[in-house]
Amino acid sequence: MKLSEREWLIEQDKLEASGKFETCFALTNGYIGIRGINEEVFCEETPGTYIAGVFDKSTAQVTELVNLPNPIGLRIYINREFLNPLKCEILEFKRVLDLKQGILYRKLRLKDVKGRITTIEGFRFVSMNNKNLIVQKYDVVCENYSAVLNVESFIDATTVNSKDVPNDRVKHYEIDKKKDFADGIYLGITTKDKKYKVGIASSTKVLLNNQRCYFNRFTKDLGYIITENFEVEAKQGERYEIEKLTVLVSSREKNVGDVFETCTNKLKEFETKSAEKLLFEHIEEYKRLWDVANIDIVGDEVANKSVKFNIFHLISMANPEDEHVSLGAKGLHGEGYKGHVFWDTEIFMLPFYIYTNPAAAKAMLMYRYNLLDAARENARKNGYKGAQFPWESADTGEEETPKWGYDYLGNPVRIWTGDIEYHISADIAYAVMNYVRATDDIDFLLNYGSEIIIETARFWASICKYNKEKGRYEINDVIGPDEFHEHCNNNAYTNYLAKWNLLKASELCNLLLEKYPKYFEKLSKKINLSDEEPFVWQEIASKIYIPYHPDKKLIEQFEGYFNLKDFVIKEYDQNNMPVWPEGVELDKLNNYQLIKQADVVMLLYLLGEEFDDQTKKINYDYYEKRTMHKSSLSPSIYALMGVRVGETNRAYINFMRTALTDLEDNQGNTHLGIHAASLGGTWQALVFGFGGISIEKDDVLSVNPWLPEKWESLKFSIWWKGNLLDFKITKDNVEVKKRVEKGNVKLKIKGQEAII
């Protein structure tokens, strides 16, 4: 196995327990996620094994993604003494995440207290084309000694959620079966509340010159751990190969009867192929994904590599085959945010998939559609009509936001987002139209998307309250994207997206009535849509209040925001992140104009056609110097909008903030999981910011790029209405080629119209 070129490699050169690297080196295929721990599993590490959609509550505050048994354990013993890397002299250590091939490589040269030198070198991967499979392959060489080597492979069910937080620590499963079968070992579990069953079967081989070479095999049932051991008469200088195949199967999957039988049968099937063959198939699938998703930045090595890192985790997380799961805010990389799905998915991540993997984007939107009844019930329970999507969603579509958390000082604090951060319903409607516009997937719009848009419009119509005195509709007591400020009245982002949702639903009804009357009749009957409702939506939308100050061309984030005490950010830390201004009290953030993340600027991006360039520039300047970027969602939007308003220096600074969010851990919490929204935001900042892509009226694809000084060129590809387009941008030229053709594409390149 040969590693890829350096631009594709993320390296760790020091052996240590590192939550950052556990997350950055996590491997996932959209079904299984495995954190980047070492095979030996050091006590300071946090093993994490997750299956998309396997949630449970048990004694936790809310339903959360279950941390399943760790299936990748491997240890080496020399004459029955554990070769513990932490107790050896480290002669050589390297771990490398190969982004191009989707593998985690490791090399260790260890000298123990008896002077014995051992080299362990190899890799593991979570298969991209066999969703149930994990492969590990390592070579072991006894450099200056001969001895009995014991290779111990194990499945460890001591794992818990929140292992380092006593108040939140939970074990979500019970072991229901352990077995030594002919080809390996098996451990099965059942989750406590939801009764999901998960089976884990592994088979390990120890080979010399491709022949099995052990003289003894035995297994041990150690309660929460089951092991498979092989004893080998190891000779000095010989290279012994360890191959471990592991299969995970859950009862969530289609056509799974007996989990044990399904699991072991799949394992036997995979055992008919060599590790090299399985690796080849895995790499071929990554080649297919990278063929569209790759971005090349020439002239900026750090930016180029960090962008590839972000894209790697995006292409790894998606599962187009499952329409009942979506992407959590921390991916399948850790337990942060309980594995829940937020607006992050539709607004920050989904555009990447819309333009590089439309099938995956559709599956994520189908997740929302399949939970539409739950959103209707959520609205009903809260006294509203239509569909109110939960701020945090898991497997049922019920609201999963915890009621309590901790502030920046560590004090317990009530979490209100699940109660009053309503904008997610409009965000999902926006995502539906974003997908349909780019793909022309009319079938999806007719059968699924239109119902989402209409039901969310009904929600907004019921939550808007008419103020007779002022002659306007208002939405009060909300939280906008900026979560420093709670219980706000007339948040501009929320009100504007509500207005957009209402008008889009009305427009859609007219479209369906005119062009697809049979579908419209069927839908109207299904949801009891009256003839009057679209007109009511138009009336409400026309009178929704937006706090705008025309004399200054400033959009006020919410009513009364400009009356708050003002602080301007003046200092930045070693990661170029804002430092709290002197005098700020962290338990009184609601009283200041400092904001957590892009709010008004987010609005200017999503509904950019509603605002002129001067308004965008004035508001960008005002809010950028007051944004603390305490959410990883924020820098990418300021990067993108920075390009669009001509603040290119700040655009590049914010772009590097978002691109390096996890690699430099600039939010300080990468150990909890990948910042998935930041991954998607990085891509958007590149393509829609520096790449200059935007969609104008009549679906004209506008290209108006700007490249930072050291960038020689930027290359990327996107799907647009069934056409695959390749872009190569330099400072002097924009080159667009059509790789896959479905029809004519209307372009406007730096103001010049063209058709290809």
**CATH number for 50:** 2.70.98.40
Band of residue 576 on the pLDDT scale cut at 50, 70, 90: confident
Cα dihedral 307, 309, 314, 316 sign: positive
Query: Do 734 and 649 reside in the same domain of the chain?
Result: no
pLDDT at res. 407: 84
Question: pLDDT of 109-146, one tens digit each?
Answer: 999 999 999 999 999 999 999 999 999 999 999 999 99
Residue 477 has pLDDT above 80, yes or no: yes
Residue 43 has pLDDT above 80, yes or no: no
Cβ(245)–Cβ(137) below 8 Å: no
Q: Is residue 277 in a domain? A: no
Query: Do 678 and 697 reside in the same domain of the chain?
Result: no
Query: Do 569 and 607 reside in the same domain of the chain?
Result: yes
Q: Which of 64, 451, 483, 486 is catalytic?
A: 483
pLDDT at res. 317: 98
Q: Is residue 266 in a domain? A: no
Q: Is residue 402 in a domain? A: yes
Tell me what the mean pLDDT of segment 432-455 comes to: 98
pLDDT at res. 410: 85
Whether residue 416 is annotated as binding a ligand: the answer is: no
Question: pLDDT of 186-196, one tens digit each?
Answer: 999 999 999 99
Q: For 383-395, b where at least 16 C-beta lie within 10 A, e where not — what string?
A: ebbbbbbbbbbbb
Distance CA 714, CA 296 (A): 6
Band of residue 296 on the pLDDT scale cut at 50, 70, 90: very high
Whether residue 597 is annotated as binding a ligand: the answer is: yes
Question: pLDDT of 142-162, one tens digit each?
Answer: 999 999 999 999 999 999 999
DSSP line for 400-440: ---SEEE-TTS-EEE--HHHH-TTHHHHHHHHHHHHHHHH-
301 tagged catalytic: no
Question: pLDDT of 313-343, one tens digit each?
Answer: 999 999 999 999 999 999 999 999 999 999 9
Query: Do 98 and 133 reside in the same domain of the chain?
Result: yes
Q: Is residue 500 in a domain? A: yes
Q: What CATH number corresponds to the domain at position 446?
A: 1.50.10.10
Which of 632, 655, 690 is a domain's end point?
Answer: 690
Distance CA 204, CA 207 (A): 10
Query: Do 237 and 330 reside in the same domain of the chain?
Result: no
Whether residue 500 is annotated as binding a ligand: the answer is: no
pLDDT at res. 574: 86
CA distances from 35 to 26, 333, 544, 739 (A): 4, 6, 46, 36
Residue 728 has pLDDT above 80, yes or no: yes
pLDDT at res. 494: 99
Residue 218 has pLDDT above 90, yes or no: yes
pLDDT at res. 297: 99
Whether residue 373 is annotated as binding a ligand: the answer is: no
Query: Do 722 and 628 reside in the same domain of the chain?
Result: no
pLDDT at res. 690: 98
Which of 254, 287, 309 is a domain's end point?
Answer: 254
Question: pLDDT of 536-558, one tens digit each?
Answer: 999 999 999 999 999 999 999 99
Distance CA 424, CA 379 (A): 13
pLDDT at res. 255: 86
Query: Do 668 and 702 reside in the same domain of the chain?
Result: no
pLDDT above 70: percentage of residues in the chain: 100
Which of 690, 714, 746 is a domain's end point?
Answer: 690
Burial class of residue 43, CB neighbours in 10 A (0-12, 13-18, 19+): exposed
Residue 204 has pLDDT above 80, yes or no: yes
Question: pLDDT of 372-422, one tens digit each?
Answer: 999 999 999 999 999 999 999 999 999 999 999 888 888 899 999 999 999
Q: Is residue 115 in a domain? A: yes
Which tokens hold the place of 310? 């972000």
Cβ(154)–Cβ(226) below 8 Å: yes
254: helix, strand or coil? coil
Chain-wide mean pLDDT for the chain? 97
Domain count across the chain:
3
Q: Is residue 268 in a domain? A: no
User: In whole angstroms, what separates CA 276 from the centre of its chain?
Assistant: 29
Question: pLDDT of 601-623, one tens digit each?
Answer: 999 999 999 999 999 999 999 99
Cβ(203)–Cβ(271) below 8 Å: yes
pTM above 0.85, yes or no: yes
Q: Is residue 287 in a domain? A: no
Range(s) of the domain holding residue 23? 9-254
pLDDT at res. 42: 84
Q: Is residue 267 in a domain? A: no
Question: pLDDT of 9-40, one tens digit each?
Answer: 999 999 988 999 999 999 999 999 999 999 99
Query: Do 28 and 107 reside in the same domain of the chain?
Result: yes
Cβ(510)–Cβ(533) below 8 Å: no
Question: pLDDT of 339-360, one tens digit each?
Answer: 999 999 999 999 999 999 999 9
